[in-house]
Amino acid sequence: MNEQLLIKDGVHCRECGSNIARTASTCPHCGGRQSVGKSSGFKSKTTAILLALFLGGIGAHRFYLGNVGLGLLYLVFCWTFIPAIVAFGEMIYFLTISEEDFAERYS
């Protein structure tokens, strides 16, 4: 009964693929570290596209994606409008890659 509950409410280990409890910080099978919670790693492709389009010149999409260093670089040089041009190109890149590739790269 407990095993069925784990399978129903469980998640897959990022390392070995075993079914583990959603709140497990490490996999009991392989010892691999897990991210806990729904919002710990999920980034929306649509949100990244909109941030790149409207606030890309100040690096908002880079902050959102977890690239704080690049976000600060965009912010420092926003007066040159070069980050806005680069962000537009990144927006086009986000539009062209698949959801799976985006999730793999930015989650």
Per-residue pLDDT of 51-64, as tens digits, reads 999 999 999 999 99
Per-residue pLDDT of 37-48, as tens digits, reads 444 568 999 999
The pTM of the full predicted model, rounded to 2 decimals, is 0.64
Task: Give the other-Cβ count within 10 Å of 34's Cβ.
Answer: 19
| Contact residues for 25 (Cβ-Cβ < 8 A; gap 6+) | 33, 34, 36
